[in-house]
Structure 1
Amino acid sequence: MKQKIIILHFNMELGGAESSLLGLLDTIDYDRYDVDLFLYAHEGELMSMLNPNVRLLPEMKAYRALTESMKQNFAQGCIPIGMARAAAKVRCALSGGPMQSGHNYKQYFHKLCIPYLPDIPGDYDLAISFNDPHYIVGKKVSAKVRMSWFHTDASQMVFCDAIEKEMWGMSDYVVNVSDACKQAFDAKHGYLTNKSIVVENMLSKNLVQSRSAAFSAEREMPSDGSIRLLSIGRFCAAKNFDNVPDICRRILASGCNVKWYLIGYGGDEALIRQRIQDAGIEERVIILGKKENPYPYIKACGLYVQPSRYEGKSVTVREAQILNKPVVITGYATSASQLEDGVDGVIVPMDNEGCAAGIAAVLRDEALRQKLTENTKIRDYTNAGEIEKIYRLLENV
C-alpha cells in the first residue's frame, strides 16, 4: 500500500521556492507514494508545470484569503481573516522590536487565523509545509510526520522567539536547504538542533533544458553586440536589484559593453526603476517583468548574475548552471555552499564597487568563462539523491 504525502504551499508564482517545489514533485517516486498538493491559491505562472501525477486539492476560500489583501478580505466576506490581519498589524506596530519585521508579522497573522480556517481533509503519513509560516501544517492537517521548510539565511533575520518556538514546535523536522543555512538556523534556534536537517533543493534537468528550448528570447534580449547579463528573482531587499543600476553604471564605465536584464516582480520595482533613471542607463538595465518560463532568457544570456544581499541557496543559480552558463554571485553569508569559486562560478564582493570590478574581470576573461561553462557540464546540479532523505524518514512510519 502506498504511503500518502501532502504538501502545502501558497501558490505557484514565479520564485525560487516554487521552482524547488516543482523539482521535488518531479523527483518523487509515484509508484511508492500518493501525493496531494494543497495550494492556498490556484494561481501563478508555474501552475501549468505541476507534475501530472500530483493530485491538486480544491482551493478553499478561507485559505485563499491568506494570500490576499485586507481590503480584499473584507470585500469578499472573509471578515475574520481581515480582522486577524488588522490585529496582527496593530500588535506588531505597537510591540516594536523584532515584531515589526515582515517575517514576524506574517507568523503572528497566521497564528491568529488558525481558529477561522477549516481542517484540510485526509489522513497522511507525511505532511510537508514548503514555506513559512507553518501553523497550518501543525494545526489543520492530520499526519504522522510533519516537515517544515526554511529556505533562507537565518543569520540575516530577526526573530520573535515566542512565536518561533510555538510554530516550529509543531513540526517533527525543520528542513534547511544547505549546510550553511542549517548552521545559521541552528545558531538562532539552538533549541531546535535535534529537529534541524538538510534537504537541498531538487531540480529537474530535463524540465529546465526542455523549457529553455520553448521559444527564442531574441526579441526581448537582442544580440546587438553587448554582453547580456541576467538576474532573476523577486524585487525585494534580499535580491539587491536596487543596486544593479549603480553596479551596471560602474561596469560600463570600466569599458565593458553590457546590458543587464531583470526578470521578476515585487515591491521594490518602483525603487529599481527610479535608480535606473537616476543613473541615466534606461537602455542598459532593462526590466523584463514576470515570466512564466524564464529558461529561454537564461539560455540567451552571456553571464548569469545573482547580486543578492542574502540567500538560502539560490535555485536560479543552479538552473543557470544546468544550462551551462557562467555565473557570478555576491559573497553573501551562504555563498560558499552555492558554488566552487573559480571552478563553476565566481564569487565577487558585496559592495557596488567591488561587485562591478569582479563582474568586469570575468567579462574580460574569456578563458575563465569558458572554464566555468565546461565545468558545469560535468557536474550534477539536480540533487535528485536528496529525495532519499525524505524516504528514509518515512521508513518507520
Structure 2
Amino acid sequence: MKELLIMAKSLGGGGSEVALIELINALPEELYNITLVLLDSDNEYAYRLKKNVNIVQLTFNSSFAKSLVSMYAFPAKVLKKLSVNSFIAYYDFISNCVTNVFEKTYDIAIDFYGYGSFVTAFLATKIQAKKKATWLHDEKPYWMKSVQKYLCEYDKIYGVSQAVVDAFCREYPHYRDKAAVFYNVIDIEEIKRKSEQDEIIPFKESFNIVTVGRLTEQKGYDIAIKAASILKKRKINFAWYAIGGGRDEKKLKKLVEKYCLENQFVFLGRKKNPYPYMKHCDLYVQPSRHEGYVITLVEARALCLPILSSDIPSAREQIQDGINGYVAELSAEDLADKIEYLYNNPSQRKKTVEYLKEHPIDFSTELLKLEII
C-alpha cells in the first residue's frame, strides 16, 4: 500500500474542493493510505467524502501567520508587482510558524490547492516524498509567479484541462516537460443516483434555465442577469434559477432588482444536492468568464442535459458547439441570442441530448497517472 499525502485548502468552498473529494473517493482503498492536510476548517462538503482518511489540520504558533496562508492575501494586481524574493521570504516565514511535524517519507505528495499558494512552497520544502505533484486549477498563470523557486522540487505539474496546461507552458516554457493534463475525476453514477432523489423543485410553467456555481465575478452571473433582461424584453417565457452562494450575492440581487427580474431570475442558494434541479431543467447554462475545468459541465453532460456554455478554452474541451451542446460569446447579447434559439428549437436541444446519451463520460484512465508521476 502506498502512502499518499494530499494538501488542500479545505473541504468546502467551490469546484476545486469538490474535485478533491471526488479524487479521494475514486482512489482504491487497497492501494492508498491517504493523509489529507488542510489549511482551513471549512467542511461544507465533508458529507461527500466516502473514504476513511486521516485528516490533519495545519496549525501555527502565530495567529498572524495563520491569517496569511490564503492565496487571497495577495490580489492579482499585487501579485504582478511583488518580486520573487518577496514571496520566498513570505512563505519561509509562514512555514517556520507551522507546528505540525511530518516525519514520514511518503510515496506520493500532492499539492492539490495549487494557485501558487503557500501550500506549494510548504510541500516542496517541508514534506518528504519519493514523488511530488502540484495542481493548476485556472487559466491564469500569474498565480505561479510566487512559487517559481519551488517548482523544481515537483516531478509533475498537473493542469485540470489542456487550456490550463497550455497557458502555464506559455508563461513557463522551461517546465513544459513536467506539465500534463489530469482531468478532475467525477463519480458519474453517483450524480445520476442523486438526480433521482426526491426534491421539491420550484419550477414554473415556463422555459426553466439552471446555473450552478459560486456567486462571484468569475462565474459570470452578472452577464447572465443582463441576458435575462434581454430575454424578458423579447417576451420569452422563461425562469432562470441560480444555485450557489458567494460574496457577490447582494450585488447580484441588486442587479436583478435594477432590471425588474425578480420573477424571472431566482436565487435558490446553496444546495447539497443540485442534481434534481439540473435534471428537470429545460436548459443548463454556464456563463463563466474563465475556468480551469468546468465540473458543472461534466455534471450536466453526465445527466444528458441541453447545455449552453460561454465560449472559453476549458469549456471548448468539453462542449462541441452544436454536437453535445452549444457555446456563446461571453456577452449578454450572444448569450440571449443562443438561449432564444434553443427556446424556439426544441429539436436542436433533443439532438445534443441524444448525442450525450450515446457518448458516456469515462475517467478510468486518469487515476493511472498517479502511478507514473
CA contact (8 A) 2:294 2:315 kept: no
Shift of 1:353: 0.6
Give the Cα–Cα distance (whole angstroms) in 2 for the partners of residues 108 and 351 of structure 1.
42
The 3 A distance-change label for structure 1 pair 360 and 14 is farther
Asked if 1:251 is matched to 2:231, the reply is yes
Shift of 1:107: 9.6
Residue by residue, what CA displacement relative to the aligned partner does 1:358-392 show, whole Å, maximum 9, x if unpaired? 12111211011111111111223242221112223
Asked if 1:169 is matched to 2:152, the reply is yes
CA contact (8 A) 1:203 1:382 kept: no
Aligned 1:1-397 pairs, distance under 5 A = 2-52=1-51, 54-62=52-60, 78-81=62-65, 84=68, 98-99=80-81, 112-117=93-98, 118-120=100-102, 122-132=104-114, 133=117, 134-154=120-140, 158-159=142-143, 161=145, 163-218=146-201, 221-222=202-203, 224-393=204-373
CA contact (8 A) 1:9 1:131 kept: yes
Give the Cα–Cα distance (whole angstroms) in 2 for the partners of residues 83 and 144 of structure 1.
31
Give the Cα–Cα distance (whole angstroms) in 2 for the partners of residues 179 and 270 of structure 1.
34
The 3 A distance-change label for structure 1 pair 308 and 3 is same
Residue by residue, what CA displacement relative to the aligned partner does 1:47-81 show, whole Å, maximum 9, x if unpaired? 011122x423233443xxxxxxxxxxxxxx84342
Residue identity matched to 2:175? L
CA contact (8 A) 1:98 1:160 kept: no
Shift of 1:44: 2.9
Shift of 1:119: 3.4
Shift of 1:290: 1.7
The 3 A distance-change label for structure 1 pair 217 and 349 is farther
The 3 A distance-change label for structure 1 pair 96 and 336 is closer
Give the Cα–Cα distance (whole angstroms) in 2 for the partners of residues 314 and 260 of structure 1.
20
Q: Count residues in correspondence.
A: 363
Residue identity matched to 2:63? I
Residue identity matched to 2:109? A
The 3 A distance-change label for structure 1 pair 47 and 110 is farther
Give the Cα–Cα distance (whole angstroms) in 2 for the partners of residues 110 and 381 of structure 1.
40
Give the Cα–Cα distance (whole angstroms) in 2 for the partners of residues 82 and 392 of structure 1.
34
Give the Cα–Cα distance (whole angstroms) in 1 for the partners of residues 322 and 92 of structure 2.
45
Shift of 1:169: 3.0
Residue identity matched to 1:362? L
The 3 A distance-change label for structure 1 pair 384 and 267 is same
Residue identity matched to 1:213? E
Deviates more, 1:35-44 or 1:205-214: 35-44
Shift of 1:96: 5.1
Shift of 1:42: 4.1
Give the Cα–Cα distance (whole angstroms) in 2 for the partners of residues 383 and 200 of structure 1.
8
Give the Cα–Cα distance (whole angstroms) in 1 for the partners of residues 143 and 55 of structure 2.
32
Shift of 1:179: 1.7
Q: Secondary structure at the match of 1:153?
A: coil
CA contact (8 A) 2:37 2:58 kept: no
Shift of 1:306: 0.6
Deviates more, 1:372-381 or 1:317-326: 372-381
Shift of 1:317: 0.7
Residue identity matched to 1:98? K
The 3 A distance-change label for structure 1 pair 96 and 206 is closer
TM score, norm. by length of structure 2 = 0.89
Question: Once superposed, what is the RMSD of the aligned Cα atoms?
Answer: 2.6
Residue identity matched to 1:149? W
Q: Secondary structure at the match of 1:216?
A: coil
- Equivalence for 1:72: none
Q: Name the % identity.
A: 23
